[in-house]
Amino acid sequence: MDSLAEYRVSIFNQIHEIVFHGKGGYDYNTIYHMPIWLRNYTFKKIKDWYDSANSKDTNSDSWVNGQTKEIAAQNKKIQVPTYVTKAAKK
C-alpha cells in the first residue's frame, strides 16, 4: 500500500476506536470533522484509561491465580470418586 492509503487506514482505525470505546459519547461524523490535535488527544486519553483499567485487572488476576494454585495444591489430598452414578430406571 502507498503511504496515503496507510494514512487513511490509520485515521479510520483511530476514528473507529474513539467511537467504539467512547461508549456512545461520540458519533462518527463528530470525530471525523474534529480537529486532528483534539482527535489525537481524545484517542490518547481513552487509550490511557483502558490501559490503566487493564493493568488493574492484570494485577487482580495474578493474585487470584496465586490463590488458585494454593487451592489446587491443597485439593490434591482429596480423593475423587472413580464411579459414575446414573439415574434409576423406572
Q: Quick check: 34 and 42 in contact, CB under 8 A?
A: yes
Q: What is the mean pLDDT of the chain?
A: 80
What the block records as the C-alpha cell of 43 is: 484517542
* Model confidence pLDDT, tens digit, residues 13-33: 999 999 999 888 899 999 999
Whether this model's pTM surpasses 0.75 = no
User: Would you give per-residue pLDDT tens digits along the chain (90 residues)?
Assistant: 689 999 999 999 999 999 999 888 899 999 999 999 999 999 999 999 999 988 876 665 555 555 666 666 666 666 656 666 666 666
